[in-house]
Structure 1
């Protein structure tokens, strides 16, 4: 038996497949996205690249309902599916992470987390903290806590600090990396946290973060 290799194997055609998708060439799958917009794709490609969807996509007809996510974020996800390359930006990273988590796309999830933790600052710390809770990302949560400790004196005046659970507050202050001006500042911050919540220190709060929206097939 002899084996022969094509000059242009399928693995080298990823870019061409993405071009065909963008041109809406022979799509057989409709994806409903935010604001009633629609994106088109090929179910055989998605089934091969996203095992979590394989069973659902095997059923004839139907469409994917990803109505919690913007068209641009879904397009970025599909570009990764078709080419293996992810174009992650501040505009789509959070949506991409949520979709990757829901679809069990581990590599994309890891890349999104890496992108987000490299750019954490006080301006969007709250969004990323809540996202870390929704996606159960220990890496992102630890990165957020690290930033909170580094800017502690500024952070304690934010709504996010006031909303921390007792467990999260303990994680924050029980660290050698805490950069507070002095111990008195930490004590006053904790007392202020307790006063603003108007509850005993042992009471457990519940986060009300960015809703984690599953991706459904119908």
Structure 2
């Protein structure tokens, strides 16, 4: 009689604990990563099994496969340390101070579960101070769900972004997308014009092209239009 047996969770935990101890002590390590001025000892087989990035780096696809030490750039030592311990232990501590850097690094290293958790963390932590930076990162890394959540937050909190002077940091293409969206929540149309002008004051090297196309001037009195536009010494002749 054959009876299949699967290791218990406790046995797996012991295995991971031992791996983590080998990492910390340097036992059986056969590979060194150089990050800035710091060196990290680790095990080639563990990293090659952890993600497609390391698998490619440490096998036949890259010239580094025959080296005992590899230099990695575009990642901070403390962030690499956190991700390295995650690979060995399955655990990582993420907070407001490191989540963006961990997201960028884990995307580079193709640690998909960490990427997903960071995106979830950022989605539930959105506020006026971080939403634009979060959108920029999500856009760059093509994290669609996080990008959509950030855009939804901007649409529903547009007035607060104006109030806290955060509109000036928004990319032009995103500003156009937001103010052209019928789901934009504002108190009045004057706020759209105000947002454009705040943005322009802080991004004057760029143009107004396509921004005014999305202002519903019929809902703004000419007096108010002129008052706002003259605040920055600009007269948009074609609109008056």
TM over 0.5: yes
Q: Which runs of structure 2 are paired with 1:25-44 in the superposition (5 Å)?
A: 25-34=27-36, 36-44=37-45
Whole-angstrom CA distance in 2 between matches of 1:106 and 1:96: 12
Q: How far apart are residue 77 of structure 1 and its match?
A: 0.8
Q: How far apart are residue 182 of structure 1 and its match?
A: 1.3
TM-score (norm 2): 0.70
Deviation by residue 1:43-83 (Cα, 9 ceiling, x = unmatched):
11000112222232132224332343333311221122112
| 1:148 correspondence with 2:145 | no
- Contact 1:166–1:201 at 8 Å: present in 2 too? no
Whole-angstrom CA distance in 1 between matches of 2:128 and 2:152: 12
Change (3 A) 1:7 1:113: closer
Alignment root-mean-square deviation, CA: 3.0
Aligned to 1:190: 196
| 1:162 correspondence with 2:164 | no
| 1:92 correspondence with 2:98 | yes
Deviation by residue 1:137-178 (Cα, 9 ceiling, x = unmatched):
222222222232333223136675235344311322234543
Whole-angstrom CA distance in 2 between matches of 1:54 and 1:190: 47
Give unpaired runs (5+ residues) of structure 1. Answer: 204-218
Whole-angstrom CA distance in 1 between matches of 2:145 and 2:92: 20
- Contact 1:72–1:92 at 8 Å: present in 2 too? no
Higher Cα radius of gyration: 2
- Contact 1:24–1:41 at 8 Å: present in 2 too? yes
Moved more, 121-130 or 188-197: 188-197
Aligned to 1:81: 87
1:173 corresponds to which of 179, 182, 204:
179
- Contact 2:79–2:102 at 8 Å: present in 1 too? yes
Give unpaired runs (5+ residues) of structure 2. Answer: 60-64, 212-240
Aligned to 1:125: 131
Change (3 A) 1:8 1:146: closer
Q: How far apart are residue 192 of structure 1 and its match?
A: 4.1
TM-score (norm 1): 0.76
